[in-house]
Amino acid sequence: MTAGMDSLVAHIHAALGDYCKTDRKICVALSGGMDSVVLLQALAQLRVQMPFALSALHVNHGLSPHAADWAEICQQACLALDVPCEISTLPPLKAAGGGLERAAREARYAVFSQVDADVLCMAHHQNDRAETLLLNLFRGAGLQGLAAMPGTRFLNGKCLIRPFIDVPRSDLRAWAEAHDLRWIEDESNNNLHFRRNYLRHVVLPAVGQQFPAVVSVLARTAAQMQEQTALLARLAELDAQGCQDENGHLIISKLALLPMDAVRNVLKHRLNRLGVNIPSARRLEALAEQIVDVRPDAEVMVRFGDIACYLWRDQIRLDRAAQHRLPGLAVFATGGTAWPDGQLTINYPGKIIVQAEMKIGPVGQGHRFHPQGRCRGVLSELLREKGVPPWVRSRLPGLWQDDKLCWVAGIGWESGIGVGNCPEIIWMPSAAEIL
């Protein structure tokens, strides 16, 4: 133990390692519950000896009538410790197939992924890990699901660390009471309608009567599953080495030569690395089967939630814009516009213009176009020659004048138009995501 630190603070110091340096920014995911309040307080103590930049982020889901009060309590707790606190208030949640719990979690992590910090610290502890293992086991999860809350992982380029992942909840509560901390009691934590609460209040106490160490045993099993998951990831990379091009992208025709279980393992590893949620083993199996059976000239799509996965030109490509609503026709004007597949910028040197007879909108399908220096042809074929994927072609922006297409992203102006008198239109396509 580092001199002058109590055991819990020293435990956090060990978990953070080199991230305690003075030039690092550490953010606490602060719910206001006992666990996160302990983490905030302990990190504030550690900051005295290791002067890193400490901040907190509270996500207000708006699900409780007390949500605004909880946000204020978090603000006051941070103010007392001289810790900057950001409150992120979410729009009303829509509970899709995964239910409200999952929707809240996904919305929360979307906010966490954008935090300005090197490290995001979360207060999940040993009991949380045991509960998550059981939840995933009852859902029929595989090895990765049973790994249940790794102590460290990356989230959108930042390191997510759970310093308490091997600390029992009882130890955190004892520390909180010893330091006379105040925290929020979320009334929903006692609602047995939520499966995690049912496990926490009914299942685990019942099992614990016969197996007193059940929580620590389950958490230890999850840690062992995490180790096995890491080994499978290493195996996936070894298998992928013989199936990828010079840019590290998988080649379908070579990947298809591996045994089916190896194909699934490589796909799972690459999808996880790109942050793609695999909703079920059936979806992964469907993609693997298509890879083994696909014809070289085929275009195949398998959907993973909101993300479409295409097999095209011997590559596996992701389309995150599959669920985006396309912009409608808009009045042509200078400035920048985010498009599903890139960034469109219109400049007109010397003056700001708005030309009502000219509009920007998706090019759609079935049009013919006469590019400058080329013969007239079907637009989809012209875009194919440019290497634009089929699922992107109809979504690209075009400039329409009097219902006539006169400019297309990736191709340029139509023949016969004097470019010298035209505005500058810059199309910056998004980088392709290739497994």
In this structure, the chain runs to a length of 435
Q: What CATH superfamily classification does 7-218 receive? A: HUPs (3.40.50.620)
Q: Which fold has domain 242-319?
A: Chorismate Mutase Domain, subunit A (1.20.59)
DSSP H or E stretch at residue 37: helix 34-49
The pTM score is 0.82
pLDDT tens digit at each of 435 positions of the chain = 455 568 999 999 999 988 887 789 999 999 999 999 999 999 999 999 888 999 999 999 888 888 999 999 999 999 999 999 999 998 887 765 557 777 888 889 889 988 999 999 999 999 999 999 999 999 888 888 899 899 998 888 889 999 999 999 999 999 999 999 999 988 888 999 989 999 999 999 999 999 999 999 999 999 999 999 999 999 999 999 999 999 999 999 999 999 999 999 999 999 988 878 887 889 999 999 999 988 877 789 999 888 999 999 999 999 988 877 777 777 777 888 888 899 999 887 655 455 557 888 899 888 999 988 888 889 999 999 999 999 999 999 999 888 888 899 999 888 877 666 678 889 999 999 999
CB 93 within 8 A of CB 133: no
Give the DSSP letter string of 58-102: EEE---STTHHHHHHHHHHHHHHTT--EEEEEPPPP---TTHHHH
CA–CA dist 391, 432 (Å, integer): 12
User: Are the C-beta atoms of 78 and 85 separated by less than 8 Å?
Assistant: yes
φ and ψ at residue 276, rounded to 5 degrees: -90, 125
Q: In this structure, how many other beta carbons lie within 10 angstroms of the beta carbon of residue 348?
A: 16
State residue 55 phi and psi, 5-degree precision. Answer: -140, 175
Buried b or exposed e, range 404-422, using 16+ CB within 10 angstroms = ebbbbbbbbbbeebeeeee
Spatial distance between the Cα atoms of 242 and 253, rounded to a whole number of angstroms: 11
- For CATH 1.20.59, the residue range(s) in the chain are 242-319
Quickly tell me which residue has 């001289």 as its tokens: 82
Distances (CA, A) of 16 to 40, 43, 60, 220, 299: 14, 10, 27, 20, 46
Residue 3 corresponds to which amino acid?
A
Q: Report the Cα 3 to chain-centroid distance in Å.
A: 39
CA distances from 51 to 21, 101, 116, 117, 324 (A): 7, 36, 17, 15, 43
Locate CATH 3.40.50.620 in the chain: 7-218
